[in-house]
Amino acid sequence: FCQTLLQTVFPPELRFATVKFFNRIFHLFSSYCYFDITEIDGVNTNELYNAVQLYLSSSVSITGSRLSLTRALNSSGFTFGLANNDSIVDTFNGVNVLWEHVVTQRQAQTFSWRPLPDEKRGFTLRIKKKDKALILNSYMDYIMEKANDIRRKNQDRLLYTNSRGGSLDSRGHPWESVPFKHPSTFDTLAMDPEKKKEIMEDLQDFANGQAFYQRRGRAWKRGYLLYGPPGTGKSSMIAAMANYLGYDIYDLELTEVHNNSELRKLLMKTTSKSIIVIEDIDCSINLTNRKNNKTGSSNYYDPVAAPEIRGACASGGEEGGNSITLSGLLNFTDGLWSCCGSERIFVFTTNHIEKLDPALLRSGRMDMHIYMSYCSFPALKILLKNYLGYDEGDLEKLLMNALEGVIDKAQMTPADISEVLIKSRRHKERAVNELLETLKSRAERNEKNGVLREKNGDQDEDEEQEKRALESPKQESEVEDNCKEEEDDEEKINKRE
Ligand SMILES: Nc1ncnc2c1ncn2[C@@H]1O[C@H](COP(=O)(O)OP(=O)(O)OP(=O)(O)O)[C@@H](O)[C@H]1O
């Protein structure tokens, strides 16, 4: 009866107007202003709502007494959230703000193409009016940045590979992905600690270098060339890089890419904060289908058959429709298209740096050349620690000296040494003795075969090869000029035929 009476005397329109009026009065005299961030903005999901939820999760996890706990799909971590209608004080630049998580029941289902949730969720931010101009924009930017960091940390990183034959997946994507779980880190990687530190610093500088690259007008990307004998940890290094920076990996299988435009499309579909890898680049470029083209001549770039290099642009690539040219690959790493996206690292690996064209090696394309050497004594110490739990002090000085005496002469890869250590890891002493024996016999064999190089000679020689490759008459400009000489070359080939 009362309700009916109230409805008649005090109709909803009047009630609404009264509330509005009192609200206005209240806001006029209040020293606070309020911002509503709803979960759904019209029919679209409000990105800021999710960002605030994630951002608050970092501080809420410690202070809140009632929390909501979620775990997103493909995520390896839990996220704490503010419980319904709970509030929390946050401080930014010395200013206190209050966040309230407001959850109300949706009154009636309004018409929408998309079913809306029963609850209306949102955050209300309360800021003192005098602080509004001071912090609002920078605070929101800060929240978005923090939320992205948390999301990346929680999200499983992915290992992508280009689909077979360039086909697209169900979402029209040319990359297929699996969660990336490689356990290699810079701690477990056996290599010279100084070199390792240098690489880690370089990676860190790159990851923090957005402003640096922007100011100097450079694309925010970096190239690393890993070279050295098989089993020296090139793939492990890539995994360690990805784990260190928290980046995804795109493992590009060049043999599955048919032409330059396909290569470009693949590049466009990569995300930022990723490492694009081409393993064994010397083998990938020397594709068999390059040689089996219609003309029967080796028109495509073959790094071994240097004279054919001019033909690379002449009839390969777009026109030939079935192969990537060297210029296409160079553009992939360094051209205009390489900048579609940011914060990307290119890593090429090879066992034969001398086979690579100088154009690929020049700075700007491959900024850092990392030689992965046979196992050195500092690297051996890391392996002993990883596999047997030995520290330097644990092993007798005599044994350490014996190992140090033969390790360089033995020229064993970390992969070989790991195998020996894994085999007898249950009996530590036996494992070390076995390793010593293996190293000694390898060293003797090397000496007998006369393949022993001077200490670090291996590296010197590889560096020498790299230098030779860089200085070889097959100059980079020659390669890049190929495109300009495309028509001349085609004519020559036709005449020859
Ligand atoms: N530097 C290293 N530190 C730790 N482990 C290593 C190292 N090098 C090799 N290994 C071990 O050997 C295995 C093979 O190494 P990896 O595949 O990284 O070598 P690679 O140089 O990429 O070889 P390839 O050139 O044949 O691809 C790895 O699983 C790892 O356990």
Identify the residue with better confidence: 459 or 13: 13
Do 40 and 116 meet the contact criterion of CB atoms below 8 Å apart?
Answer: yes
Q: Is the pLDDT at 299 greater than 70, yes or no?
A: no
Q: Is the CB of 191 under 6 A from ligand 1?
A: yes
Q: Is the pLDDT of residue 269 over 90?
A: no
Tell the residue nearest (CA) to atom 17 of ligand 1. Answer: 235
What is the number of other CB atoms lying within 10 angstroms of the CB of residue 208? 9
Q: What angle do CA 294, 300, 305 make, to 5 degrees?
A: 120
Q: Give the per-residue pLDDT at 448.
A: 84
d(CA 341, CA 245): 17
Average pLDDT over residues 367-391: 89
| pLDDT confidence band for 301 (50 / 70 / 90) | very low
What is the average pLDDT value for the chain, to the nearest integer?
76
Q: How far is the CA of 228 from the centre of ligand 1 (A)?
A: 11
Please indicate whether residue 271 or residue 61 has the higher confidence score (pLDDT).
Answer: 271
Tell whether the model's pLDDT for residue 441 goes beyond 60. Answer: yes
Q: In the beta sheet, which residues pair with residue 350?
A: 227
Of the candidates 180, 294, 304, 297, which has an alpha carbon nearest to the alpha carbon of residue 245? Answer: 180
**Ligand 1 atom 31 nearest Cα:** 415
pLDDT tens for each residue of 149-204: 887 777 778 899 987 665 666 556 788 888 888 899 999 999 999 999 999 999 99
Rounded average pLDDT over 85-91: 84
**335 CB burial (10 A radius; 0-12, 13-18, 19+):** middle
Q: How confident is the model at residue 72 (pLDDT cuts 50, 70, 90)?
A: low
Q: Which residue has the higher pLDDT, 362 or 96?
A: 96
User: Which of the two residues, 197 and 313, has the higher pLDDT score?
Assistant: 197
467 and 353 in contact (C-beta within 8 Å)?
no
Residues 6+ apart with CB under 8 A from 331: 260, 264, 337, 338
Average pLDDT for residues 449-477, to the nearest whole number? 52
Name the band, by pLDDT with cuts 50, 70 and 90, for residue 477.
very low
375 DSSP assignment: P
What's residue 115's pLDDT? 56
Look up the ipTM and state it.
0.96
Ligand 1 midpoint to CA 231 (Å)? 4
- Which range is least confidently modeled, 48-52, 282-286, 431-435, 447-451? 282-286
Q: Which residue from 189, 235, 383 has its CB within 8 A of the most atoms of ligand 1, so it is best to mutate?
A: 235
pLDDT in the model for residue 440: 92
For the Cβ of 232 lying below 6 angstroms from any atom of ligand 1, the answer is yes
pLDDT at 110 over 70: no
Q: Which of 76-85, 153-162, 333-342 has the highest mean pLDDT?
A: 153-162
Q: Average pLDDT, stretch 16-31? A: 84
pLDDT of residue 199: 95
474's CB contacts (< 8 A; 6+ apart) are 306, 309, 357, 358
Q: pLDDT by residue (tens digit) across 25-64?
A: 887 788 888 888 988 876 677 888 888 888 887 765 555 5
Residues 480-497 have a mean pLDDT of 50
380 lines ligand 1 (CB under 6 A): no
Euclidean distance between CA atoms 263 and 281, whole angstroms? 15
The pTM (predicted TM-score) of the whole model is: 0.67
- Say which residue, 118 or 488, is predicted with more confidence: 118
Atom 18 (ligand 1): residue with closest C-alpha?
Answer: 233
Contact of 307 with 332, CB cutoff 8 Å: no
Give me the numbers of helices (H) and strands (E) for the chain, helices first please: 21, 15
Residue 284 has pLDDT above 80, yes or no: no
Are residues 222 and 367 in contact, defined by beta-carbon separation less than 8 angstroms?
Answer: yes
8 A C-beta contact, residue 299 and residue 293? yes
Residue 308: what pLDDT?
36
Domain at 158-373+484-496, CATH from 3.40.50.300, 3.30.450.20, 3.40.50.880, 3.90.1170.50: 3.40.50.300
User: Which residue puts its alpha carbon closest to atom 10 of ligand 1?
Assistant: 415
